[in-house]
Chains A and B, each alone.
Chain A
Amino acid sequence: MAAFFKNLLKNKVMLFMVLPGAIWFFFFSYLPLVGTIVAFKQYRFSRDGFWASIFNSKWVGWDNFKFLFSTNDAYTITRNTLLYNIAFIIIGLVLSVAMAVLLSELVGKTMAKIYQTGMFLPYFLSWVIVGYFAFSFLSMDRGMLNQILGWFGAEPVQWYSDPKYWPYILIFVSLWKSVGYNSVVYLASIMGIDKSLYEAAMIDGASKWQQIRNITIPMLSPIIIIMTLLAVGRIFYADFGLFYQVPRDSGTLYSVTNVIDTYVYRGLKTTGEIGMSTAAGLYQSVVGFVLVIVSNFVVRKIDKDSALF
């Protein structure tokens, strides 16, 4: 104990700087953890407020989790959530790093700034607006894509009722929105790479491609691993806006657009069972937590320094 306080005293400046963040995490991430109790209760209101409501509600064991696993949909939503997120992580990583490298190699810095801003912009749009963008392309009678198809004499496509196109559309839209933002993260760490490394390589006669492969990518690998580990932790969370707004909640597309978050929303929006939605959230975070621990463990086996913890 004495050692602990000594340690505390020694690092007081650093700890003081951490304090605001720690307080934030305490109130908004740790304190609400008590509420996970609701996942095991049939939540009913009590006139004496939230705590009394929790206390007075009936224990129902694992009943609230059943709806996530009870039908064939369970397979569809788990598959969709996982596969889409894996695709987003892998393709997103490749594209973001590629974009960052390209931007860093651009000589004209004004143009680089313009590209960067242009790619950055979609990140700030809400999914509702992105949904309407997509609609202006995909609308059956007024959409741009069908008009272009018309010029080539092709039949118009019923985009919103044919599931086969949607895996591609969703991946495209998601990447369009996120790649610009992520590439800025990588670009920032490329900027931090010691320039003398490149100078030395150039003197040795390394080509651009050799420089990228042997200097940029290895120097980027810690941040790549961190970003990927963080993404893996959220692999069971689907982006609700992407899967709900962009396909315009079209029922015929559910086989490829239904994910855990939309399933929970649709199933509970009329009955409003707080216990069941809490159960779904708990399930998602537990799986995400396990995945982060496991993948971090794997990373640590391979390269101890790159691991998160």
Chain B
Amino acid sequence: MSKSKKSFSFALAMLTALTLVLSACGGGSNSAESDSASGGKDSEKPVNLIWYTIGTPQKDVDKVMAEVSKYTKEKINATVTMKMVDWGDYAQKMQVNVASGEPMDIVFTAAGGFDYVQNARKGAFMELDDLLEKYGQGIKKTIDPAFLEGSKVDGHNYGIPANKELPQQEVWRFNKKLLDKYNFDITKVKSLDSIEPLLKTIKEKEPGVTPFAMDKNYVPYVPYDYVIQNLPMAVKLDTTDYKIVDILETPEMKQALTTMHKYYQAGYIAPEAATTGSTSDLMTSGNWFMDRAQTQPLADNSWSASYGYPVVSSPASDPIITNTSVQGSIMAISANSEHPEKAMEFLNLLNTDPVLRNMVDSGIEGVHYKKVDDKHMENLPESKNYDMPSYSLGNNMLLYLNPNDPDDKWDQFKKFNASGKNSPILSFNFDSTKVATEMAAVQNVKEQFWASLMTGTVDPETYLPKAIAAFKQAGLDKVMAEAQKQLDEWRAANNK
């Protein structure tokens, strides 16, 4: 017995010693690295910026970045290395990169994917207020001020949003083939109730068609803005007292859910909507009549093009500028960046210089694309090796137009952006740290009730009170009180 104890304590001692040695090694190499970095700060030597962005890695990225680097070296004395991380892996991989201190300068982040607000709060991004003032005047001039205002976290900017569509507006989308067949007039359609006669006709006359297509993320539109997406805390859009309410207790939501359940029972909605992850099968087959989606200018054209049959839409809500719509695509500077000034200069150039912006987006002129006239361009066959998601790479309004785009495409965007109304809680970001325990419980209740209520699968008469009680039991009231406290402070600080 005593012998085994001895060998155990010896093993433990060895373990401790080894851990010490290993951590010492780690520390040592770190300090050496930063030494060499500060040593190499000579003004002449170009700086290399490492840029992580989302999307399926493209074959020609390095080739294009070599070209980009030539251009940026001349303009701001910096070169660029781009690292693409595939859609599904991005959030997780970036989480690891940040946690392990991987060298990074510029990082793509958004309200979805690799969450902007959360990671800004956790210290993943650098605060940009001073840098923006010093090196980002171009950005401040070109992009809609609502973007910079709306992407503030606790009063500071941590990223540069891409200039693109600003408000979010819900529309009803229709399969035009069926619309024409039955001669429906969609100009009068707007509310959830107004679509009933259309759904009824389709249900009766088109047995193989899903009248109202939706997946489990569907939520009926009500004129509220959510404090956190899909948690039942919301503020009414025309609020004057900035009171946070439980959305499930509002008459609007109750009404909407009752209507949804009526539609569900009438068979307008697929029986398994509450567990359906995506409706892309329906979209491919064309066996659907209508659904709801978020729009942007010229959206009908791009939907029709991607489905291969005509799709038209009609508004289901007013265009509203919310945190989610503003934080759809942001480029941040990593907190561990060695060259934050250069990174900011680069972001400034990217958002103001059409040559650079188009090179990053479409590749090398003459290889990946060719210019048709001064506004339009055409992809060449090589573009399949450099097919980038435009939305994630900075100012969209500098992009050359595709052959089918109307000349005034970006003017239409500007008009759309100007039509948006600010949500009352635009740029208020709830910090849930103090109520993290309750948040975990509330999230679970949400997962349990949300999809089946929102898709109309269950009867709100019995399930709504159950859901409300479950949320209360999980501590929603405490979370709401904390949110209200923060909102009131925010209101006082911002003179709302």
Q: Assess whether A140 is interfacial by the CB under 8 Å rule.
A: yes
Find the A residue at minimum CB distance from B98.
Answer: A45
Interface size band for A = 35 or more
CB distance from B366 to the nearest CB of A (A): 41
Partner of B444, one of A42, A139, A267: A267
A249-302: which residues lie under 8 A (CB-CB) from chain B?
249-252, 254, 258, 263-264, 266-274, 276
Q: A42 to B433, Cβ gap below 8 A?
A: yes
CB distance from A222 to the nearest CB of B (A): 23
Are A4 and B433 also in contact (CB < 8 A) when A45-B335, A48-B336 are? no
Question: Among B182-190, B268-276, B305-313, which stretch is in contact with chain A?
Answer: B268-276
Q: How many residues of B contact A (CB 8 A)?
A: 52
Q: A70 to B475, Cβ gap below 8 A?
A: yes
Partner of B447, one of A52, A140, A266: A266
Q: B447 to A273, Cβ gap below 8 A?
A: no
Cβ–Cβ < 8 Å partners of A34 in chain B: 19
Q: B441 to A67, Cβ gap below 8 A?
A: yes
Q: B443 to A266, Cβ gap below 8 A?
A: yes
Question: Among B118-126, B249-257, B395-403, which stretch is in contact with chain A?
Answer: B118-126
CB distance from B46 to the nearest CB of A (A): 23
Q: Assess whether A109 is interfacial by the CB under 8 Å rule.
A: no
Partner of B272, one of A30, A70, A140: A140
Q: Assess whether B87 is interfacial by the CB under 8 Å rule.
A: no
Are A46 and B271 also in contact (CB < 8 A) when A266-B447, A271-B436 are? no
Q: Assess whether B419 is interfacial by the CB under 8 Å rule.
A: no
Q: B444 to A73, Cβ gap below 8 A?
A: yes
B453-475: which residues lie under 8 A (CB-CB) from chain A?
457-458, 473-475
Q: A45 to B437, Cβ gap below 8 A?
A: no
CB distance from B290 to the nearest CB of A (A): 19
Q: A140 to B6, Cβ gap below 8 A?
A: no
Q: Assess whether A105 is interfacial by the CB under 8 Å rule.
A: no
In the assembled complex, the Cα of A72 lies from the Cα of B437 at a distance in Å of: 14
A143-198: which residues lie under 8 A (CB-CB) from chain B?
158, 160-161
B-facing mask of A33-57, CB < 8 A → 1, else 0?
0100000001111111111110000
Find the B residue at minimum CB distance from A43.
Answer: B122
Are A160 and B272 also in contact (CB < 8 A) when A47-B335, A50-B100, A73-B441 are? yes
In the assembled complex, the Cα of A193 lies from the Cα of B272 at a distance in Å of: 52
Are A254 and B271 also in contact (CB < 8 A) when A44-B123, A70-B441 are? no
Partner of B275, one of A51, A67, A249, A273: A249
Cβ–Cβ < 8 Å partners of B392 in chain A: none
Are A267 and B122 also in contact (CB < 8 A) when A72-B473, A250-B275 are? no
Q: Assess whether B367 is interfacial by the CB under 8 Å rule.
A: no
Cβ–Cβ < 8 Å partners of B335 in chain A: 45, 47
Q: Assess whether B15 is interfacial by the CB under 8 Å rule.
A: yes
Cβ–Cβ < 8 Å partners of B449 in chain A: 251
Q: A50 to B433, Cβ gap below 8 A?
A: no
Q: Assess whether B7 is interfacial by the CB under 8 Å rule.
A: yes
B-facing mask of A126-143, CB < 8 A → 1, else 0?
000000000000011100
Q: A67 to B274, Cβ gap below 8 A?
A: no
In the assembled complex, the Cα of A40 lies from the Cα of B216 at a distance in Å of: 35
B residues lining the A interface (CB < 8 Å): 3, 6-7, 10, 15, 19, 22-23, 26-27, 30, 95, 98-101, 115, 118-119, 122-124, 216, 228, 270-272, 274-275, 335-336, 432-433, 436-441, 443-444, 447-452, 457-458, 473-475
Q: A50-B99, A271-B432 are in contact. List 5 more A-B contacts (CB 8 A).
A: A45-B98, A47-B335, A50-B100, A67-B437, A267-B444
Return 24 A-B CB contacts under 8 Å, by A number. A4-B7, A45-B98, A47-B335, A48-B336, A51-B23, A53-B99, A67-B438, A70-B475, A71-B441, A73-B474, A141-B271, A141-B272, A160-B272, A248-B272, A250-B274, A251-B451, A252-B452, A254-B448, A266-B444, A267-B441, A270-B443, A271-B439, A272-B95, A273-B436
